Chains A and B, each alone.
Chain A
Amino acid sequence: MQAILPISMVPGNSAIHKISPLPKFLWVGAVLVLSFATRNLAILGGITILGLIFVTIAQIWKSYLKVMRIFFPIFLTLIVLQSVAPAFPRPWTPITPLGPFTIYQEGIYSGLSMELRIYCVTTFALVAIMTTHPSDLFTALQRLGMPYVLNFIMTVTLQLIPILQNEFAIVLSAQKSRGLKGTGFSALLPSMVPVFVGAIERVQQLSISLESRAFGSKGIKTSYRNIHNTIWDFMILGVGMLGSCGLLSWIIFDKSLDWSRTLVFAPWLALTLVGVATLGFLIFVFFALRAVLSA
């Protein structure tokens, strides 16, 4: 019945867990910039593979896959929609017809590059989140100069997500116990009201409780958890930043890296890709509908 958000720290003692939060999150930032700077499938694929190596080192495959399966239907939809209606400047190069639609070269390329972008950014972000204690993250951000209040808001918001999810599961159970049919948007309303009212009450009580414990007082705040950046952390940071800058320069100056017009997909490959994605999407819709109807 409990629905705990899987995006949280996975305790461990791996080399990635031991890295200070600062280099990890700067790496995530760098990957974000790189992934949106290029459409080159090889570069995006390479970054994704690097991310997967980190997932393996951190030993977080189980939690990682739990989150990634949420993205699975999005990936399938992207391939199907992009292949027939590319988000790409015209002219489009037709590969093969598919019923009333046409599969385009640029569409397949655009779909794959969008997917790889999401994959690599999500993978690096998950590695950072799942190997970093939330308090360490916020202590690191505070060191970087983020205002204490803003930092605290972020901490509390992240803590509230699993609480509200749990609350929503309880409320949904209470409504089902009164015969509520768990389908459609109208079925959600009886559950949303108590959750939001509860959340508002919780926030009101929290604000009173915080003020009564001197929240907002001036001066230096101490932290229960201390972060020490080692020479190893600075090395990782340096390698990451240098590598990212190098790669970024290459992407900017080498125009041949744009393969969107040059990489040709054979009709059989395009059809297989779109067919498998469509089939996967339909299977997903079937199971989703079955889950909703049996709820």
Chain B
Amino acid sequence: MPEPIIVCQDLWHIYQGGVIALREANLTINRGEIIGIIGQNGSGKTTLVKHFNGLLKPTRGVVLVKGQNTAPMRIQTLAASVGYVFQNPNHQLFAKTVQEELEFGPRNIGVPEEEVAERREKAIEFFNLQELRLLHPYRISFPLRKLVGMASIYTMRPDVFVLDEPTTGQDNITTHIVYQLIKRLREEGSTIVCVAHDMILLAEVAERMIVLRDSHIIADTTPREVFSNRELMQSTHLTPPQIAQLTLRLKEHHKMDQLFLNVDDTVKDLDSQLHSNSPK
């Protein structure tokens, strides 16, 4: 039985000056889901997710986190339930060393000192930050700084992780760590909301996609459905991953039974087709 962890009911957000950034958003995110949120710049993605940890309060409608209305709640209280990893790590990092940075969040939410140390060590190991732990965050490269930003939220152990463009500006190694992080968080039962333009990442990890256009949620379905819907993709000016485009065309030409979202599945299918067609 799915357990709703975030619920938005008729959510509207209007910025000062009258700009309507979000209208009539109705959404339920269940515990353990991996959600991808996509849309053009200015479509309302970031506005939507900023309601999850109380950075923005609804102009109209309700946002419930673990059944509680976020409107009267403070960001600091919600931070224990919803961790928000900002797109730019420079907005988060300030401490003298990487390890101090990792300890900052848990201490703020009152985690006992021994557990803070334990969480810090676990994060250092997972994010492979051993050699950086005593360095100043601003003395390390941008991709690694971004990992430190994620690790600093990881140590808070929130129920929901909101990742804002986690792979932007990342090299192959750190992108791979992000993939691993999302998979590991899923194994640990966390809920992940990933706002991204990186369709390859979302095709790989997302179980459900929410598509926004002009401040409206226009689709809430599986990645396969989203990427196979040409009209939806064109109307939002988004491009599916190349492997999805290729397999979609092959499917339309009856060379393939279904749309694949990653290379491994495509190769597996092609391989089985080749084997079944090869002369005995």
Contacts and interface: CB of A to CB of B under 8 A. Distances in A.
- Indicate whether A and B interact: yes
Interface of A: 1-2, 167, 170-171, 173-182, 189-194, 197-198, 201, 294
Interface string B164-185: 0000000000000000000000
6 contacts: A167-B91, A177-B55, A190-B95, A194-B92, A197-B90, A198-B91
A1 B13 CA distance: 12
B64 interface: no
A179 B53 CA distance: 11
A190 to B, nearest CB: 5
A10 B74 CA distance: 34
Given A180-B76, A190-B104, A175 B90 contact: no
B80 interface: yes
Interface in B60-105: 74-76, 79-80, 83-84, 86, 90-95, 104-105
Contacts of B126: none
B79 A197 contact: no
A178 B92 contact: yes
B91 A174 contact: yes
B90 A179 contact: no
Grouping DSSP codes into helix (H, G, I), strand (E, B) and loop, the A interface class, with mixed when no group exceeds half, is helix
B156 A179 contact: yes
Contact of A194 (B74, B80, B91, B152): B91
Contact of B94 (A167, A179, A194, A294): A194
Contacts of B276: none
Nearest to A295: B74
Nearest to A189: B94
Contact of B56 (A1, A179, A198): A1
Pick the most buried of B50, B56, B91: most chain A CB atoms within 10 A of its CB: B91
B158 to A, nearest CB: 10
Contact of B16 (A2, A177, A189): A2
